[in-house]
Amino acid sequence: MTRTVGDFGLTCGTLPAGAKNSITDVPGVRVGHHTLREGDINTGVTAILPHAGNLFRRKVTAAAHVINGFGKTIGLTQVRELGAIETPILLTNTLSVGTCATALIRDAIRQNPDIGRSTGTVNPVVGECNDGPLNDIQALAISEEHALAALADAHEGATEQGNVGAGTGMSCFGFKGGIGSASRKLKLGGGDHHLGVLVLSNFGRAGDLILPDGRRPDPRQEAEPERGSIMIVLATDVPLEHRQLERVARRAGAGIARLGSFWGHGSGDIAIAFSTGNVVDHDEPRDLVPQMTLNDARIDMLFRAAAEATQEAVLNSMLSAVAFTGRGGTHRTSLADWLDGQSRAG
């Protein structure tokens, strides 16, 4: 059962959530998972599709922001240079990034046989976190077929959260972490728009977590140096240019800071943002292309939405995650169980 901040009377900020309180509140965005759990293998793949069409042909404007760069992502250099994403985004464990990138390349070639021959090559985008404490990461269990299964599972419904997909073996602030999502509804230009966030949470020292009501949950686990990571994917249907998206992605850092994170030396904290409001045509014949974009004087609303939805998505990842015993008997308790215990004690 998915449990979220609302089930525990917690509130992250002031903006209203979307109908699903998920990144899939942004029209067209789809999320899929493939989960592996057998013995010491506890890992998976999560796929985020900006739209259901051919992304190589119809790219979305995008940006990335590196809060702390202890990470092994693929594709961010070109995203930051050209301001577009042309494949789905895959999230997985640290040692499976190359496999997932190959799967994205093969899938793009299948849809576009001219890639690398009569047109350019393709830039796969893959993010990662290290699930080694709960998963036998050296087993290299993720295959291209698993990555394609996550793509095939992608849908527009509410996002499954917690111990699923890439989040299967993740830890957060000493508790079980994983996949989490949240959204904010915005009024702009006389209509409704959304900003949604999906996180892969695997960061934070035990004992450092701060809830929105000020409580500091104790996982009863010895605090170790901050060596985890978080991948944050932000999506919006507000038409934004590359520069604006990078500014919005940067505000995701405010969301994780509200939780007590200080982005330690060994933490990889990376945000990727895209807008479905502007599409880049790979085969555009015109020299000059018109583009709608947000008035910078209105961008504070998106900054607030990014911080609030990121904070809530991380908490949702932990509240949806159930207690978990992984590789070698390593155990992570559930934040929801801790809060339930507090309620009984009160």
| Selected catalytic residue, list 201, 208, 269, 317 | 269
| Selected catalytic residue, list 96, 267, 275, 320 | 267
State the DSSP H helix or E strand holding residue 151, giving kind and residue range, or none if neither. Answer: helix 144-152
Pairing verdict, β 268-281 and 229-236: parallel
Residue 13 vs residues 10, 87, 211, 242: alpha-carbon distances, Å: 10, 32, 12, 26
Q: How far is CA 261 from the centre of its chain?
A: 17
pTM reported for the whole predicted model: 0.97
229 is catalytic: yes
Sheet holding 58-69, edge to edge: 84-85, 58-69, 268-281, 229-236, 191-202, 178-188
| Selected catalytic residue, list 201, 229, 317, 334 | 229
Q: Which of 76, 25, 8 is nearest to 246 (CA)?
A: 76
267 is catalytic: yes
334 is catalytic: no
Q: Report how far residue 163's alpha carbon sits from residue 167's, in angstroms, rounded to the nearest whole number.
A: 5
Q: How many C-beta atoms surround the C-beta of residue 144 within 10 A? A: 16
What is the Cβ-side half-sphere exposure of residue 334, based on CA atoms within 13 angstroms?
A: 19
**How confident is the model over 199-239, as pLDDT tens digits?**
999 999 999 999 999 999 988 777 677 778 999 999 999 99
Per residue of the chain (346 residues), what is the pLDDT tens digit?
688 999 999 999 999 999 999 999 999 999 999 999 999 999 999 999 999 999 999 999 999 999 999 999 999 999 999 999 999 999 999 999 999 999 999 999 999 999 999 999 999 999 999 999 999 999 999 999 999 999 999 999 999 999 999 999 999 999 999 999 999 999 999 999 999 999 999 999 999 999 999 999 988 777 677 778 999 999 999 999 999 999 999 999 999 999 999 988 989 999 999 999 999 999 999 999 999 999 999 999 999 999 999 999 999 999 999 999 999 999 999 999 999 988 777 6
